[in-house]
Structure 1
Amino acid sequence: MSAESKDQIQSTVTGFFQDLGAQLQTYSAEEVVVALELLPRHMNNASQMHGGVMATLMDAAMGLCGTYSLAPEERQVAITLSMNVNFSAPATAGSRVRAVARCRSKGHKIFMATCDLLDQDDRLLAFGEGVFKRGALRRELP
């Protein structure tokens, strides 16, 4: 996928994803990788990566993997029906983390995905899975 197409896909992921500063690193039918350079604003009161930031990255990556489309304007919205996240290690400001997601099962409307959150040394920070529903085409929404 071209850098231009990847940028177009990234721009369709709105809201908190954009506010975090997350970047779409890999977007394919087999795998989606979302990366983030951790800043002080991504930390909790213990100076470690906030669990909500971890969950958001994983949610976005899993949603993108199940709504893959070569044409950015044909990408559907993913609606999270359920998500389970297990936290296994902390990360601190200055670290680069990435959520690596893969679809496990795809139906007509519902898909299931799994995700690992890794640091720059491939240390597992969190892992989880989710069940998602494909919604409207992104171009049909405001």
Structure 2
Amino acid sequence: MTDTPSPATLDPYPAPFHELLGIELLEWRDGFARIGCAVGPRHTNRSGIVHGGVMLSLIDQGAAYAGLWCSVPGNVRRAVTLDLDCRFTGQVAAGGRLVAEGKVVTRGRNIFFCRTEVFDAEGKLVAFGASTHRWRAGSEGVEGQKPDAGE
């Protein structure tokens, strides 16, 4: 039996936005990322269901992570989102867990394209999307760069 790495081991430099929403990195490898978010009352809209912006954020962040895996421990890669679309296929009540799986579809020298799916606690597809991202300078290669480089 293998130990599951902690989110801090997977990404020692998470975004403050992740803490705000409660996003955790669950699995990460080149071209793939799985993230999760335990959804509660703070994630709901006025109708009492999980806000679509939470699911859209999971699509964006799952995709970005898929393209930002780094082969050198301690190094980091960065990107910006150029385009993002989303389709909602279901509603989610507070109190469950959402999981997003992002996959790189193709990549070029500076840009990568992803597809991401979001599932509820029962494994039902509740949203999906496609996105385009551009690596920041120095982040194009899987080896990444030192965390303070490029700032």
118 and 2 in structure 1: CA distance in 2 versus 1, 3 angstrom threshold: closer
Deviation of 1:75 (Å): 2.4
Q: Secondary structure at the match of 1:16?
A: helix
Q: Between 13-22 and 61-70, report the one with greater CA deviation.
A: 13-22
Deviation of 1:94 (Å): 1.0
Distance across 1 between alignment mates of 2:110 and 2:5 = 28
Decide which structure has the larger Cα Rg and report it: 2
TM-score (norm 2): 0.84
**1:29 touches 1:65 (CA, 8 Å); kept in 2?**
yes
Distance across 1 between alignment mates of 2:146 and 2:112 = 17
Deviations 1:16-49 (A, max 9, x none): 2221111101101142001011110011111111
Distance across 2 between alignment mates of 1:58 and 1:138 = 26
2:141 corresponding residue in structure 1: none
Q: How many residues align?
A: 141
Moved >2 Å (runs of 4+): 8-11, 70-75
Deviation of 1:11 (Å): 4.0
RMSD value, Cα: 2.0
Kindly report which structure 2 residues correspond to 1:1-142, keeping only aligned pairs within 5 A, or say none: 3=5, 6-136=7-137, 137=145, 139=147, 140=149
Structure with bigger helix share is 1
Q: Between 118-127 and 73-82, report the one with greater CA deviation.
A: 73-82
**1:89 touches 1:124 (CA, 8 Å); kept in 2?**
yes
Distance across 1 between alignment mates of 2:47 and 2:28 = 33
TM-score (norm 1): 0.89
